[in-house]
Structure 1
Amino acid sequence: MYETNTGITRNLTGREMSFYLIISLILNSMGNGLTVACNLGSAMWTASAANLALVTRQDISFILILYGILVIGLNIILLGHLEWPRIIGNLLFIGPFGFFVSLWASWFGRIGVGTLNYGVRLGLDVLGIILLAIAVSIYQRVNLILHPNDDMTNIIRFKYVHGNPILAQLLNFTFPLTIIIIIWIVERKIVAFNIGTLFAFLCQGAIIGWSDQHIFPYLKHRINTLKQQQPVHNR
């Protein structure tokens, strides 16, 4: 939805939806790829995927796609019903997302991001998390096609925690954090989990909430599909 200067809310045009989705996909994959290359802590889901990729010896793009499919199932449970347009949108998003994260991570690695001094890498890592949080805010508001992980946050936020982005994001992080802890207990090693991951855990929800108000501020959440259906009473 888009709110005009006169306060009137209208639907986004196809061109506007495409613009916001492309911008958010670029920012999200770039931010995630940058955090992987810095190796000072990725966002929770990416950090979890990086550790699972290390243990299983699979490419991180494959793990991210697998995560996406699993989370689609969890979202169906949270919603309490099937929404095929939503599921198809999730599937359309996870393919290019996993590919572009891997592509950006490889490119940042080739240009030597991982060899920079600690302070510079930490700054870039935090920047990556900020970029991906901004991206999540943008395409959550468009709510046309979402990555399943961020769709889960949207569902939790507007169906269960009264629109609170911070609490919704913390609840969303429960699953990847559990995977990371299990891998650490079993393997006694961990990657992509550092100060940046803690920053993401504590601040990503707040950055999303801030972005809702300051990045494309006239872009409003389209949340009608998240509202619980009200029973019809016969008079």
Structure 2
Amino acid sequence: MLNSTEQSTNKISSTRTISMTTSVSFFILSLIINSAGNVLTLVTSAKIHPSFLGSAYWTAAEANLSVAFGWNLFWTFLILGILTTVLNAILVGHWDWGRALGNLIFMVPFSALIQIFEDFFLGKYPIFAGLPDATTPLMVGFYILLNFVGVAMIATAISIYQRVNLVLHPADDLMQILRFKYFKGNANLAMWASYIPPTLMAILALVITHQFTNFGIGTIFAFLFQGGITGIADKSIFPHLKHQALDVGKPTATVEK
């Protein structure tokens, strides 16, 4: 279990201390890392038969809920993203149109990069033949490791773009609000708390469909360690990058530094 390293030791700035050019550069880099990591988890899971790696935690819950209500994934992700944005506003204590629009804007380049990396790892570009199916125990083990690496990439990307704080995915915004308003900067506890909404989604879907799919070893790994890895990345990846223009409402406790 990751311990004290998940604590945020970065200073927090209520204003921006880096230029917009630098902020955008960090954001683009983190978005690329996040997209590649997400696709790695999806592709490695699909290449093992029978599949037991599962999806990332939010993705797994949303996929189950889409089946339960007969929605496609686009509408499921959009509706739940909007609801999470509303929850974030309630936790912060005020509605911010810029923040809400930023949550939605995040999804546009993110979705495009997801498609690009999916095509790459599936071999749709001539420069790479794609990841083959896992047919031996060695390949299965390698894909499990790649899946965990994908989770670590997602966690690292979250650390970077949360500190830049230009626009955030609603789920990552929720985690950041919980982290600095309620959990003294502890990334692990905040990540676990942010998993309450998707857990409720999964339970609701289970009650309706009596099925529990898309959860697996990779999902468990993400649940246990993604928040902790985010905290480690705060210290080790661009350690001088502060949390920029942080607005989580009135904190309930002092952030530990």
- TM-score grouping bracket, smaller chain normalisation: 0.7 to 0.9
Quote the offset at 1:179 in angstroms: 1.7
Change in 2 beyond 3 A, CA 1:14/1:222: closer
Change in 2 beyond 3 A, CA 1:192/1:101: farther
Quote the offset at 1:107 in angstroms: 4.2
Q: How is 1:169-180 mapped onto 2 (pairs within 5 angstroms)?
A: 169-180=191-202
Change in 2 beyond 3 A, CA 1:198/1:169: same
2:255 alignment partner in structure 1: none
- Aligned residue type for 2:39: G
| 3-state secondary structure, aligned to 1:115 | coil
Q: Is the 8 A contact 2:187 2:228 kept in 1?
A: yes
Change in 2 beyond 3 A, CA 1:84/1:18: same
User: Does 1:15 find its partner at 2:37?
Assistant: no
2:65 alignment partner in structure 1: 52
1:96 alignment partner in structure 2: 109
TM-score, normalized by length of structure 1?
Answer: 0.84
Quote the offset at 1:124 in angstroms: 1.2
| 3-state secondary structure, aligned to 1:226 | coil
User: Does 1:164 find its partner at 2:186?
Assistant: yes
Q: Is the 8 A contact 2:159 2:233 kept in 1?
A: yes
1:36 alignment partner in structure 2: 42
Out of 8, 26, 32, the position equivalent to 1:26 is: 32
Mapped partners of 1:224, 1:67: distance in 2: 24
Which ranges in structure 1 are unaligned for 5 or more consecutive residues? 4-8, 230-235
Change in 2 beyond 3 A, CA 1:84/1:198: same
Change in 2 beyond 3 A, CA 1:62/1:36: farther
Structure with more of its chain in helix, by fraction = 1
1:81 alignment partner in structure 2: 94
Pick which of 96-105 and 35-44 moved more: 96-105
Quote the offset at 1:174 in angstroms: 1.0
| 3-state secondary structure, aligned to 2:167 | coil
Quote the offset at 1:64 in angstroms: 2.8
TM-score, normalized by length of structure 2?
Answer: 0.77
1:6 alignment partner in structure 2: none
Mapped partners of 1:48, 1:102: distance in 2: 21
Give RMSD over aligned pairs.
2.6
Mapped partners of 1:19, 1:69: distance in 2: 27
State the aligned residue count: 223
Q: Is the 8 A contact 2:16 2:244 kept in 1?
A: no
- List per-residue Cα deviations over 1:24-67 (Å, max 9, x = no partner): 11111221122122221222112223333455565545433333
Pick which of 32-41 and 150-159 moved more: 32-41
Quote the offset at 1:184 in angstroms: 3.2
